[in-house]
């Protein structure tokens, strides 16, 4: 296992979870993710990426929601768990993410090669 893969797994475990509004995809816009996170996702064509970007969406957002939910990137997992990325519907976990963990995730993003989804 690559060192960044271990780090991603560790950070994922430390992000609180909550239940989203069914059918809402307001946070599913273009984001960047580390190359290691993207490598776990199914390949999308340049055409699929361009179409999603033209709609300010994510190429992994399907008709029934996120097609890669269990492997979604860290940034997607952060939405709604921090005041800096609030859920537009007011959903949130019981306890918001610890600021130190959020800062650690942002440091990870600055230290890894990012890919636009």
> What is the SS3 string spanning 39-102?
HCCCCCCHHHHHHHHHCCCCCCEECCEECCHHHCCHHHHHCCCCCCCCCCCCCCCCCCCCHHHH
In whole angstroms, how far apart are CA 96 and each of 30, 83, 107? 23, 8, 19
Q: pLDDT tens across 6-35, in order?
A: 999 999 999 999 998 888 888 898 999 999
Q: pLDDT tens across 89-105, in order?
A: 999 999 999 999 999 99
Give 106's pLDDT tier (boundaries 50, 70, 90).
very high
Give 108's pLDDT tier (boundaries 50, 70, 90).
very high
What are the residue ranges spanned by the domains of the chain?
3-15+25-116
Average pLDDT over residues 33-55: 95
């Amino acid at each position: 296992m690559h060192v960044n893969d271990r780090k991603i797994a560790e950070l994922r475990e430390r992000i609180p979870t909550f239940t989203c509004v069914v059918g809402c995809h307001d946070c599913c816009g273009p984001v960047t993710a580390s190359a290691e996170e993207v490598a776990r996702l199914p390949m999308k064509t340049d055409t699929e990426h361009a179409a999603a970007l033209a709609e300010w969406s994510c190429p992994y957002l399907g008709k029934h929601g996120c097609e890669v939910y269990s492997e979604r990137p860290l940034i997607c997992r952060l939405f709604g768990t921090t005041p800096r990325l609030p859920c537009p519907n007011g959903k949130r976990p019981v306890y918001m993410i610890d600021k130190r963990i959020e800062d650690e995730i942002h440091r990870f993003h600055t230290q890894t090669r990012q890919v636009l989804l």
